[in-house]
Structure 1
């Protein structure tokens, strides 16, 4: 068996949006594994909860099976003699994080788990996952011994560190949102370049309208998809408008803006109708609504209404996630299409616009290729030799070639390892992972009932049933009420932040 050339550990697991697997058993370690000493070379099995990219995940209708990790595991075993065993998923009614915490408390987590960076940094008890920082500068033997951190995305490494500087998750993909467009419609409308700013985007909408197309498919129905999409749009604007204040809005000095930070901003009048900057967004969105399809408040066909409208060929553009590319491809529309990153506000749009490109505010390194390594405390089968083997395997699957193959097989996300390229339909999103991981929600969705109430008021404003002032009054009432509720529930003493 070839001598492993890398040291390491990788930590945590938390599940992504979809595709839960069934039945979950972590094999107990064999005697030859647990008895290995520090100086020995590891031989045996590495267990891995691979989530969406697992070769044994349970598939929903129209989902593609993931096979690349299995193929790479077989190649790796042939080269090193080490077997990679993929853990089966949980039953649909079992909460993943509860399972992780329970297994960790008994020292029974797999050797590698899937986890979002923010869960790794905040949701799991300290000591559950291994800090991988010391391994990032070591050479990857599978890419000409280049330092591992030169292959992994440096922006993501920087933005996803914990408050104490630890790195718990190795990232290999990025979930993005995009503007999907009809190439034929753009050509007929005389649109030769993709819009990058909001003013260019609105100009494209007008050209599409003049050419006889519905410029944009939008969902303003009272459905989860409808409320979700409005938070996409407001996030695009809030993140840009408040970009120069981002660090100041991190009142509690966490990596990102937490719910507690948002409550403080509400109480200080930074988020809410008292602030002209916060209010400036809503008239811009109402102006945008003139380009939506006539039935934009209708049902959303299980979240697919805007896509179905786009597939008719009568719509020029619509917003969706990077995962939609494969669904559109499967539908085989009668026109060529592609996507570009969402346009961000500019000075021609509003006096409050900044130079910050907020395209990356909707999405992030929180997709399916996020793997962590539990500590000895959470995985009692771990030995120093096994730890080295785990890191070696993680280096093996984060070469540009292997990362690209794993991520592009499903075509739902963008690979982030340097040199790996996304599928053609997502090529316009390839640089999102290199932008700062920065997002401002504006205090409108701290709780579901708050967002629902503000969303209903927004619907009335867009439809002309209520005025901007009436909308603002509802938003102010709901945000203050929610802020007070969270302060009480969490026993927050915010006096130090609210003193003049």
Structure 2
């Protein structure tokens, strides 16, 4: 032991002499400090904060995010822990590829942004820390109230992995809504916003009778046009198949996966063999009579329907919660607001259920979804550092801080209990407490498949092809895509298809 002490002292003298010769003392890293200390972590936490990052890359007309930086500075004063924000990736760099690459080398930052679905199914097991062990802990920044009483219970329940792990802490919700012209509604004699599809169509007819274009729709062959049809079909599929939702989760995951959809296609549940699946399309064609005359035209970089709405000639249109700030900044010369999307009812179809599918388009998949990589994916992680990371996440998820972060940009709805959204999105608040349940109907397993089905849908809406001709294309594309996915993933579905 004495020899060891002498050797250690000699080593320190040599290091000191070398550092003096180089003109500086060699500082120990924060990791070394942490490993030497058995006390609290006092180093730097590195965070990929994404959209809410103070150094995010801005596109035209985007607002900078400043709140997270302010809170980080306040947190450092209070705890001595510094928060360093990792610069977000440019748009042309694939984020998930970056995450996987960094994880394989143990180089991920201490906190990353991650969608719950990716965390549960797309990342290798062992990449992210199961945070469920902390959910019952008191949040010291909210009178020691248990953390899980502040976080949205519905979202925690619905975003767990198949084994019950919680990998992502959620703080916002991206919703989709029907934006409407309040003055047009008043002139058309519409006394309340529609809740069901039959009420929605009734409102559209009243707007038409009052001289307005009832609804702005984009059926152009663009990413926005293709995307919007999946919104609409999801609204109907989720409602029509609500009573079968648990049965459609063949593989046992919380949500319906692509593998589940392939099984449903192969079993004839999704496709023209099923009257329920087929019943949706004529309803959508009937809806098209209320669209603007040029609904197949260009969409002005995804903004066509909004621009039509801003003229004041259109009564309603679909858009995401992010659109509220864009509409607001345009300063239209009429009063406007939004309501949650109407869901199908028995007046519209015998296959409609009582399930409110308004929340099926959107979900806790926006910008405030943060996960903590494990030691395997982040070699700087220690138990002390992990506790400090969780403490910072607790600091961010107080009602006041969550509301301040999310509402600065005004694109999403805050989900922490007690946090309120901006006025324009208050109608969407209830969506955060609804079951996270979506049925895609098998039409968008891959982009190539969706594009082909979408083109067939365009022809059907325009009266160029029949419903049967559309269905034939849809069946062919779904079967072809299902077969390709089975082969690519080496799925053995015999246990599901031999029943």
Band of TM-score, shorter chain: over 0.9
* Counterpart for residue 442 of structure 2: 443
Distance 1:252 1:327 in 2: 40
2:33 matches 1:30: no
Distance 2:147 2:69 in 1: 23
Any idea what SS the aligned residue of 2:299 has?
coil
Distance 2:303 2:267 in 1: 39
Gap change, CA 1:449 and 1:102, over 3 Å in 2:
closer
Kindly indicate whether the alpha-carbon contact (under 8 Å) linking 1:324 and 1:412 is maintained by their aligned counterparts in 2: yes
* Counterpart for residue 390 of structure 1: 389
Distance 1:460 1:105 in 2: 47
Any idea what SS the aligned residue of 1:430 has?
helix
Task: Please give the per-residue CA displacement for 1:24-47, whole angstroms capped at 9, x wherever unaligned.
Answer: xxxx9525534244x401112111
Q: CA deviation at 1:218?
A: 0.3
Any idea what SS the aligned residue of 2:443 has?
coil
Alignment of 1:260-409 (within 5 A): 260-409=259-408
Task: Please give the per-residue CA displacement for 1:416-435, whole angstroms capped at 9, x wherever unaligned.
Answer: 00000111111110011111
Alignment of 1:59-458 (within 5 A): 59-458=58-457
Gap change, CA 1:384 and 1:489, over 3 Å in 2:
closer
Gap change, CA 1:493 and 1:384, over 3 Å in 2:
closer
Distance 2:363 2:378 in 1: 29
Kindly indicate whether the alpha-carbon contact (under 8 Å) linking 1:263 and 1:443 is maintained by their aligned counterparts in 2: yes
Distance 2:121 2:497 in 1: 25
* Counterpart for residue 4 of structure 1: none
Distance 1:110 1:457 in 2: 45
Q: CA deviation at 1:472?
A: 1.3
**Unmatched 5+ residue regions in structure 1?**
1-27
Distance 1:211 1:379 in 2: 61
More helix by share: 2
**Unmatched 5+ residue regions in structure 2?**
1-27
Q: CA deviation at 1:92?
A: 4.0
Distance 2:225 2:381 in 1: 46
Distance 1:81 1:46 in 2: 11
Q: CA deviation at 1:411?
A: 0.4
The TM-score normalised by the length of structure 2 is 0.93
Distance 1:121 1:412 in 2: 25
Task: Please give the per-residue CA displacement for 1:319-363, whole angstroms capped at 9, x wherever unaligned.
Answer: 001111111111111111111110000111110000111001011
Gap change, CA 1:339 and 1:33, over 3 Å in 2:
farther
Which has more radius of gyration?
Answer: 2
Distance 2:32 2:470 in 1: 67
Kindly indicate whether the alpha-carbon contact (under 8 Å) linking 2:183 and 2:335 is maintained by their aligned counterparts in 1: yes
Q: CA deviation at 1:258?
A: 1.1
Q: Which has the higher mean CA deviation after the structures are superposed, 479-488 or 326-335?
A: 479-488
Q: CA deviation at 1:446?
A: 1.2
Kindly indicate whether the alpha-carbon contact (under 8 Å) linking 1:156 and 1:365 is maintained by their aligned counterparts in 2: yes
Task: Please give the per-residue CA displacement for 1:110-168, whole angstroms capped at 9, x wherever unaligned.
Answer: 11111111111111111111111110011111111111000000000000001110001
Task: Please give the per-residue CA displacement for 1:206-232, whole angstroms capped at 9, x wherever unaligned.
Answer: 111111100000001111111110010
Any idea what SS the aligned residue of 1:35 has?
helix
Q: CA deviation at 1:444?
A: 0.8
Distance 2:282 2:130 in 1: 46
Any idea what SS the aligned residue of 2:339 has?
strand
Count residues with an aligned counterpart: 472
Any idea what SS the aligned residue of 2:457 has?
helix
Distance 2:195 2:444 in 1: 27
Distance 1:200 1:364 in 2: 24
Distance 1:244 1:273 in 2: 19
2:482 matches 1:483: yes
